[in-house]
Every structure is written in structure tokens, then in C-alpha cells.
Amino acid sequence: MTYALILDNNQYKFVNLISSEKKYSVVKELDGKTDKKIKNDNLVLSFEAKNANIVEQITALQTEIDLELLWELSEEQENWSWLELVQLYFAEAEISQQLALFLAIEVPEIYFSYLGEHKFKRCSAEEISTRKLQIQRQQEYQHKFDTLYGTLFQLQAPEWKIDPLNLVNKPDKNSLEYKVASKVAKDLKISLLELLFKLGYISSVEELLITSFNKHYFPQGTQLPDLAINDHSTDIPLNAELKVFSIDDALTTEIDDAFSIQTTGDGWIIGVHISAPSLNPELLSIASERLSTVYYPGNKITMLPENVISHYSLDQGKQLPVVSIYFTIDHEFTITNTESKLEQVLISDNLRTDNLEQYFNSENLQLEHGYPYESELKLLHKFALKLEELRGRSSVNQLQVDYNFSFTDDGKIAIKPRLRGNPIDKLVSELMILANCSWGRMLTNAFIPAIYRVKQPMLPVVMTLTPNSHTGLNVDYYTWASSPLRRAVDLVNQSQIISLLQKTKALTPTDFALANVVENFDETYSAYLKFQDSLERYWSLRYLEQENITQIKATFTYRNNVQLDGVPITLDLSAHTKAKPAGTEVILSLDKFNFVNQTFEFKLIEN
């Protein structure tokens, strides 16, 4: 029978040689049933043997070889052939002696280095000492690995030298602990999170998600100290003639935009008023580090100090400084003039969408109900329709659903879906787009640096200091400047607008506030949204379990993607059915919720 010694996955092993070609050979492991092809570069030596115990004999002989003696005997020269070393040690060169000596030298390689082509190099005493130390360290590492592996595999908590939660919170993937824990999790066919949960290190998935996120993005803590308000608002003129009102949902506590309408002989003057926290220059550095408010079910991490938000929120009855932009329109809703001002206004009312939507909706637009601000809202809606028509783009995704999470005192979860695309959404979206585009154009024409949202065909939206168009919205320039209480981009851009209106020095492209936002906002903002999505998914699964929902309606949104009814969870049904037109409904069965991994099983039961 023909045998061969080969190198396979950095290990030497004996195999049966089936056939050999110019570049490849076909071999079969001694205890295997299948053949496999290897490169001839990995074939060390082939040999014939009638003795079925030849491999055992070679292994036994290998253990008897004294390599230190061979090293001393070979001191007269540095380079040796394989056969020369065999003859030097055994005084003969039988095949079993050749292979035994080769394996003794190579496993592990200490006294000689294999150069290939059956040639060896004798190592120096210093090299031998270094190699022995390396092997000792490798053996110690492997012992630690095996010990820790055995403990974890039995689901017993070891004595960690690290915080075990760091294995999932920005882990050192080269550390012994991470490699062992990852292998144990893989061998147990569970996730690393599940392993830590089973070991008792995680008592609350919600707490883990929040703690891990805060450690990474807010290592100094999430709370900001109060900041003294110093905006010199007493020097800013008051516009007392306006009836200013905001439109927000009931949960909004940081109201930063509002509207007003003035009647003229030729039409109206539509005002958009944005709270002006950027009058405090100290806020720019704070905001440019945090970049945005973080929202998640039941809580939020504010971009600005709480006292600043409380002060500048456009709450009913307050007199506050705002950056206003006025659009003079005629009875055909054509804009004839645009003007921006820094001024103070008195907030007359905070309208809430929860109340407005009962009457101000697509079905009731033509009816008179007599609710507060009915005529103003209908006028703004007509203006919004004209703006949308001029842009040639819809400002609202008709299939997008917003979800509000709330928690009762007894710990129950409530999720309230709200379909986008109603008249309120269109009204607010179009006026904000108009204001942001107008300010972007104004800053561009004044050669003042601003942060633009640019979208070019076939390319993603980017944040840039270079003014350019946004093809998705079909506008020439587009900035964010309407949410300065919750986004750093808006706060910085508002600061530039105010510098133009007050004729003061604007930020330059090298100023930290401007440069850091441009460089880091998109990546950080995406991470914040991912965190929000993760917690929303977790609480959605908890809600489905709480309500004992085992069957659910799902609606196709795009290709094979469906949106579950009542919860912010989307699924890909490509493995279950063909793509359906948007709006097509199907029924799914749900089972086996895994809250640690945020997964569950589902089946299509009605197509």
C-alpha cells in the first residue's frame, strides 16, 4: 500500500496516496472514506509499506529520538539534507527512520528549521532558547484556553480578569477571553449574548443595550450640567402682532418650530419661526460633540442641557427669540417675497396632532368643524400642496408608519402606530423644506459656510460644506436649520444665519463646531438610529408576547419586504413567497421569541 506524509492545515499527517499528477495528488485519510485533492507542495514524502502498523512504528520511534544529541552531533556544519541527518543519527536511512526523524524535528520545530526540498538549517543556541520560550508560552496559553473553555462550556462562571460585558461592548477580539467565549458560543450553537445571559451576567436585555450604548457614545455620562442662558434676548425686538402656533405630537417636549399667518390685501404672509438657542455660542461645542438627541422607547438623551431645552422650547405663553422666515404669497399661492429676521415672538398655542387628526384629515378637509386654527391649517395645507406640485416630489412616504411607545405603571407596553401622509404631515414637511431651502440659498449667495444635505443621482445623501442640489427633493440647495434643539447641524446652520442677519463674524470651515459636524454627523446619527431601532425591536417582541399575538397581518412595502401590523418590525419574505405589489397583505404565524438575540420564527400561513 502506498502511504504519504502530508502537511494539511499546518499539521503533518499520514494518508493513503491514491494517485499523483504533476501539480496535485489524490489522498485519503487513514480513517476516512472520502478522497481529497492536495497540492504536491504539501506532500512531504510518499512510500510503500506492507506493514499495516507502519504509522504506529514511526510514531513510537519519533518519541525516542534525542534531538539535543542530534544537534550536538551536527555542529560541524549549518545546512543539512534530510538523509544526511538521518544517517548521522541512525547510521542508516530506513523509511521509518526518515519519517520519524522528520516529525521529531518539525513537531515542534526547535533545533532545526525546515527549508523545503528536504533540506534543514541547524539553529543557533540563541534561536533554540527563543523557540523553547515561545513554545512554553504557547503551551501556557493553550492551557488557559482549554481551562476557560471547559468552564464556560459547562455554563459555569469563571473568575474573569475582565468585565465580561466588555465581550459584547466594544470587545478586544484578539483577547483570550473573547476567543474562548466566541468558540464556546459557536459550539453550543448560541450567540455570545445568550452565553452571557445563561451565565447570569445579563439580567436585563434592555439594561444591557442601554449600558453598552452609553459606554461607547457617552463614556462621561449622559447628563449635562445646566448652562447659564446668555442670549441678550432683551436686545432683540418683539413682534407682538403675530399669532404664533406650533404643531407637534403629544409626546414632544422640545418644540423648536412654529407658524404664523398674516392677511394682506393681495394674499398672505406665511411665517416659519425656529427657536434660537444658537444665540448662546457655548452650545455649539456641546452640540458638535453630541451631534444629536438620542430617542428610544421611554426615554431620550438630549443633545443640549435640559435647562436650555426647557428655556427655548416654544411652549404656549412664552416670549422667546426665534429665527423667522416670511413668505409673502398671493391668492394663487405664488411666493412674491422672502424675508428672514431675528426677533422675539409670543407663542399663542401648542396644537397637538392627536387632537387635530380627528378633524384635520383627508376625509374632512372640505367640511367645516369649527376647531381651533381650522382656517389657518387649511390655508397652510393648500400652500403645501402648491409647494409639493412645484417641486414635483412627494414630501411624505404614504406607507411610512411612526410608532409611539409608552409604558404603564404596572410595566405594560403600549404601542401606538400612526400612518404618515396625512394633511398635517404634508403641511409641516413642505414648510420645513421651503424654509431650509431658502436659508441654504441665502447662505450660499452670501458666501457664508453652511452644512448642506446633498443628493446626486445614483449616490447617497452626503453632508458637505459645498453647496449643491438635492435631487431627491428636487431643490437647488438644502440645509437643515429647523431643529436646533435636537440636531447639531441645525444649530450650527442657525448660528450662520444669525451671523448674516446681525452682520457678525460667522464660523469658518476650520472651526471645530462646523468641521466636526460635517465629518462625524452622518456616522454618529446612523448609530443613534440603529440603537433606537434595536430597543424598539426588543420592546416590540415583548409587546407581541404580552398580547399573546401568534398570528399577525403583514403588508408588502418594497419587493419582498413586509411591515408587521402594529409594531416597527420589517421582514424579508424572499424565502417564503414571490415579491408582491406594495400594499398587498398576508398573514404570518409567530413563534419562539428570543429576546436576547431579538429574533423569532415565522411562517406564511395566508398568501
Annotate 468-514 with three-state secondary structure.
CCECCCCECCCECCCCCCCEHHHHHHHHHHHHHHHCCCCCCCCCHHH
Q: Is the pLDDT of residue 395 over 70?
A: no
Per-residue pLDDT, 215 = 87
Per-residue pLDDT, 397 = 57
Kindly list the distances between the CA atom of residue 4 and the CA atoms of 46, 170, 399, in Å, as whole numbers in the listed order: 4, 46, 66
Q: What mean pLDDT is predicted for residues 133-154?
A: 94
Cell of 533: 431601532
Per-residue pLDDT, 31 = 81
Per-residue pLDDT, 230 = 87
Q: Is 272 exposed, middle or buried (0-12, 13-18, 19+ CB in 10 A)?
A: buried
Q: What mean pLDDT is predicted for residues 158-183?
A: 87
The model's pLDDT over 510-540, given as tens digits with 9 standing for 90+, comes to 998 899 999 999 999 999 999 999 999 999 9
Per-residue pLDDT, 232 = 87
Q: Is the pLDDT of residue 567 over 90?
A: yes
* Cell 538549517 found at: 121
The model's pLDDT over 325-380, given as tens digits with 9 standing for 90+, comes to 999 999 999 999 999 999 999 999 999 988 888 888 888 888 888 888 999 999 99
The model's pLDDT over 78-116, given as tens digits with 9 standing for 90+, comes to 999 999 999 999 998 899 999 999 999 998 899 999 998
Per-residue pLDDT, 396 = 60
Instruction: Say if CB 148 and CB 180 are below 8 A apart.
Output: yes
Q: What mean pLDDT is predicted for residues 259-278?
A: 96
Return d(Cα 104, Cα 87) in angstroms, integer.
15
Quick one: CATH architecture of 549-606?
Beta Barrel (2.40)
Q: Is the pLDDT of residue 399 over 80?
A: no
Per-residue pLDDT, 162 = 82
What rounded mean pLDDT belongs to the chain?
A: 91
Under 8 Å CB-to-CB from 541, ≥6 apart: which residues?
593, 595, 598, 600
Per-residue pLDDT, 51 = 82
Residue type, 279: L
Annotate 235-275 with three-state secondary structure.
HCCECCCCCEEEEECCCCCCCCEEEEEEECCCEEEEEEEEE
The model's pLDDT over 191-235, given as tens digits with 9 standing for 90+, comes to 898 898 889 888 888 888 898 899 889 989 999 999 999 888 889
Confidence of residue 281 (pLDDT cuts 50, 70, 90): very high
Query: Strand, helix or coil at 563?
Result: strand
The model's pLDDT over 6-24, given as tens digits with 9 standing for 90+, comes to 999 889 999 999 999 989 9
Query: Strand, helix or coil at 219?
Result: coil
* Cell 514524502 found at: 45
Q: Running DSSP on this structure, what letter comes out for residue 279?
A: G
Kindly list the distances between the CA atom of residue 599 and the CA atoms of 487, 536, 541, in Å, as whole numbers in the listed order: 32, 13, 8
> How many distinct helices (H) and strands (E) make up the chain?
15, 24
**Worst-scoring range by mean pLDDT, 162-166, 395-399, 506-510?**
395-399
Q: What is the pTM of this model?
A: 0.78
Cell of 273: 419661526
Return d(Cα 125, Cα 348) in angstroms, integer.
90
Q: Running DSSP on this structure, what letter comes out for residue 124?
A: P
Cα 273 vs. chain centroid, distance in angstroms? 33
DSSP 9-63: TTEEEEEEEEEE-SSEEEEEETT-SSEEEEEGGGEEEEEE---TTHHHHHHHHHH
Beta bridge partners of 272: 259, 325
Instruction: Say if CB 253 and CB 486 are below 8 A apart.
Output: no
Annotate 409-422 with three-state secondary structure.
CCCCEEEEEEECCC
All structural domains of the chain with their residue ranges: 2-126, 127-203, 233-528, 549-606
Return d(Cα 122, Cα 367) in angstroms, integer.
99
Cell of 515: 468641521
* Cell 404664523 found at: 260
Confidence of residue 607 (pLDDT cuts 50, 70, 90): low
DSSP 412-463: -EEEEEEES-SHHHHHHHHHHHHHHHHHHHHHHHTT----EEEB-TTS--EE
Cα 53 vs. chain centroid, distance in angstroms? 58
The model's pLDDT over 44-79, given as tens digits with 9 standing for 90+, comes to 999 998 887 899 999 999 999 999 999 999 998 999
Per-residue pLDDT, 370 = 84
Per-residue pLDDT, 153 = 94
